[in-house]
Structure 1
Amino acid sequence: MTRRTLIAGAPAVAALSLAACSEEAGGPVLAADAALPADVPEGTVLVVGDPQNQIAYELSGLVKELPFEVEWANISGGPKTAEAFRAKSLDIGSVADIPPIHTNWTGLPTKIVAASYRVDPLEHPIYDLGVAPGVDVTTLEDLAGKRIAYSPGQAQGALILRVLDAAGLTQDDVELVELPSTADTYSNALAGGEVDVAPIGDSQVRSYLNKYGADGATTIPHGIRDDPWLLYTPVDVLEDADKAAAIAAYVKLWGAARLWTRANKDAWINAWYVEHEGLSYEDGEYLFERQGEPDFPADWTEGIARHQETIEIVAEGTGNDVLDADDLYDRRFEPLVAEGIDEYGEAGAP
């Protein structure tokens, strides 16, 4: 079995490189209410955009347990995965909770097939609110009248709408500055005085304070649960019985691979943060501790209820229709992560 990593300098390159894989003749049609196939036919190929977990699968040895040919795509985040889905060049992607909402709003039906969270989400948030040098913001109420970075269709944008709601503010009380939340865009916008406040994620928080703290840059906690991390896939991919079987096999090992990273701290920090991300070991250790322990519920009911609350806030803020959160999840996959953890634990492949 061969597995190739496709490193894309731009989403378009990735889409062109992967198109042939995803457009091959598919398997039998699988109805949405049919049981997932138990076996993956020989020759099945799955194109996976899950860069961090690619490393986890490889280090743990669990990649050897995948009963299909996996094509790893260096694609992550809502806009890039949606673009690749539309190009028929990606089968499954790893994102937060907003991209599956946005794709369904924009005519691309997708389903969530795996869900993870953080054990202590308020102590281990994904985002902090970055505050520009010289700007006085110490509480959520201080956001009134401020220029806030906003990215529609991404988790950061939804977080801002939820933060405003929690602070008793509306969009009319602030100035939302639309910016793509890619790489260091938000940190640079803060440092350059383009915005007063922006949500900055795990990897940006430390670097932002290191670079600009002496100039007066600060961060504050937002106090809202922001921890969902999901796998999702286009509905038409799930209608291919062979790919659905392969996705089930991938999902089953997803939690075990993540737990392996927590049980093998030094190996994971060196492989992901140092070698892949180019950070120092100390920065990698900071991010490792910031993320905390992952949680993989065998019952998605509570997570779906929280997702519904998010949908309603974001729908009101964007003028979109309110979706039924339960419709975004394919609950045939619900027990699989727990089954994989029971089988493999945190030890990796046998």
Structure 2
Amino acid sequence: MATTRSYWPRGSTTLAAFVIASIALLFAFAPARRAAASRQGLALSAPLPDRVPPGVVLRVGDPVTRWVFEHNGWDKKVPFRIEWAEITGGPEVTEAFHAGALDVGFGASVPPIHAIWMGIPVRIIAFREYADRVSRQAYVFGIAPKAHIRTLADLRGKRIAFSPSQVQAQVVIETLKAAGIRRDEVTLVELSSNIGGDVYTNALASGSIDAAPIRAEVVAQHYIRDFGPRGARLLKHPPFRDDGANVYVPETALADPGKAAALRVFARYWGLAQAWINDHPEELARGYFVEKRGLPIDDARVMAAYYSDVAVPRNWAGAIAYQQAAIDTLAPETKHPRFDAATLFDRRFETIAGDGASPSPGWPQGKS
């Protein structure tokens, strides 16, 4: 029988268990730390400090950015220390924020929203989107081999994977609305996807679900390669945006003047990292996805393409509208309150990552 391939790093099962156990130990103390931080420190309306004091540490969960930083030596140029964490998915970032174990997370539209709904105040400090937002989709629907689904209308009456804390939930709800299918006409099976996609594809292959939104690169390609002969197929979702991605942080990090100053520098380097990836997809494919993740070169190139050809806007009007659409879509479906997406964004950072993506001559070799 064909099997799907996971794109988690080697040995990640043990690492993931260690991270989860560590987070669990910190849970009991997190509320007290957040309460103490909220009573003192830098106001969210105050100008960002421009000097990083000695001894500042940022804990960052973004493995691709880590490789780019270390590959270019930027982790040695920044005036603070970075502790990198192998935490990638929205649910894991939310758990780490709750435990006070992470300062910087990376995720799509829904994870920052879900954090707010879980009572964890966060702010977005950087945003990226596909340069080609018209024809490019981040997700497609994987269809189970015996589901008898050939069009989106055929989703009616079917079992669909649904993860309320991830962007896949937005993809599902938007698709059902566009297809004229009511929520009570399908069965949403709550199932969190992992970064490798094999949770969803294994469920599809086993027939425990009929459809699931899966990433439209290696995950989708391998699903069809492995299960297409048995009747598996892919369907594109209707033309709505699923491409935005955020760097977001807990408000407690922004309340710390030293960390706030470090985040100001980090956001600019993160923007530079996006520009570097755009210009060096083959280097990312070979250096990160082949050497670090163990992917075959063809798969690595597809993954690198997923991370490249992105834009980092200096104006967040479109980003706010994108997040508002996600809030408006999911709030009634998940029984959470609607809120103003603008409150998710720390506008003090609005141009910083975009400036990094279009660096001045000599930067970052010069002053950071």
TM-score normalized by the length of structure 1? 0.91
Please report the RMSD computed on the Cα atoms of aligned residues, expressed in angstroms. 2.5
1:348/1:129 CA distance change after superposition, 3 Å? farther
Partner residue in 2 for 1:160: 172
Distance 1:349 1:272 in 2: 23
Distance 1:285 1:102 in 2: 32
Pick from 153, 160, 164 the counterpart of residue 148 of structure 1. 160
Partner residue in 2 for 1:60: 72
Q: Is the 8 A contact 1:49 1:74 kept in 2?
A: yes
* Percent identical: 38
After TM superposition, the structure 1 stretch with the greater mean CA deviation from structure 2, 290-299 or 314-323, is 290-299
Q: Does 1:250 align with 2:266?
A: yes
Q: Is the 8 A contact 2:124 2:247 kept in 1?
A: yes
Partner residue in 2 for 1:240: 256
Partner residue in 2 for 1:283: 299
Q: Is the 8 A contact 2:281 2:308 kept in 1?
A: no
**Counterpart residue identity of residue 227, structure 2:** Y
Partner residue in 1 for 2:20: 12
Distance 2:365 2:25 in 1: 30
Please list the CA deviations of residues 177-227 of structure 1 after superposition, one character each: whole Å capped at 9, or x if unmatched. Answer: 111212411000000001110011134112211211111111111132101
**Counterpart residue identity of residue 96, structure 1:** A
Pick from 181, 190, 195 the counterpart of residue 209 of structure 2. 195
1:278/1:293 CA distance change after superposition, 3 Å? same
Q: Does 1:185 align with 2:193?
A: no
Pick from 220, 232, 250 the counterpart of residue 205 of structure 1. 220
**Counterpart residue identity of residue 9, structure 1:** A
Count of aligned pairs between the two proteins: 341
- Residue 276 (structure 1) shift: 2.1
After TM superposition, the structure 1 stretch with the greater mean CA deviation from structure 2, 255-264 or 292-301, is 255-264
1:17/1:125 CA distance change after superposition, 3 Å? farther
Distance 2:308 2:149 in 1: 27
- Residue 321 (structure 1) shift: 0.7
1:17/1:166 CA distance change after superposition, 3 Å? same
Pick from 83, 92, 96 the counterpart of residue 95 of structure 2. 83
1:192/1:260 CA distance change after superposition, 3 Å? same
Local SS of the residue matching 1:138? coil
Distance 1:146 1:79 in 2: 25
Partner residue in 2 for 1:127: 139
**Counterpart residue identity of residue 334, structure 2:** T
Q: Does 1:294 align with 2:310?
A: yes
Partner residue in 1 for 2:7: none
- Residue 137 (structure 1) shift: 2.5
**Counterpart residue identity of residue 175, structure 1:** T
Q: Is the 8 A contact 1:50 1:93 kept in 2?
A: yes
1:221/1:292 CA distance change after superposition, 3 Å? farther
Please list the CA deviations of residues 19-57 of structure 1 after superposition, one character each: whole Å capped at 9, or x if unmatched. Answer: 9xx98x99x811110000001111111101111111111
Q: Is the 8 A contact 1:8 1:14 kept in 2?
A: no
Q: Does 1:95 align with 2:107?
A: yes
Distance 1:281 1:35 in 2: 45
Local SS of the residue matching 1:272? helix
- Residue 106 (structure 1) shift: 1.2
1:302/1:97 CA distance change after superposition, 3 Å? same
Distance 1:344 1:190 in 2: 48
Distance 2:171 2:193 in 1: 12
1:69/1:16 CA distance change after superposition, 3 Å? farther
Distance 2:362 2:240 in 1: 29
Q: Is the 8 A contact 1:31 1:239 kept in 2?
A: yes
- Residue 257 (structure 1) shift: 1.0
Please list the CA deviations of residues 148-172 of structure 1 after superposition, one character each: whole Å capped at 9, or x if unmatched. Answer: 0111111111211111122222211
Partner residue in 1 for 2:83: 71
Q: Is the 8 A contact 2:130 2:136 kept in 1?
A: yes
Please list the CA deviations of residues 267-299 of structure 1 after superposition, one character each: whole Å capped at 9, or x if unmatched. Answer: 210122112222100111123335551011100
Distance 1:268 1:17 in 2: 35
**Counterpart residue identity of residue 314, structure 1:** L
Local SS of the residue matching 1:153? coil
- Residue 313 (structure 1) shift: 1.1
**Counterpart residue identity of residue 297, structure 2:** Y
Distance 2:323 2:244 in 1: 9
Distance 1:349 1:322 in 2: 44
Distance 2:157 2:59 in 1: 45
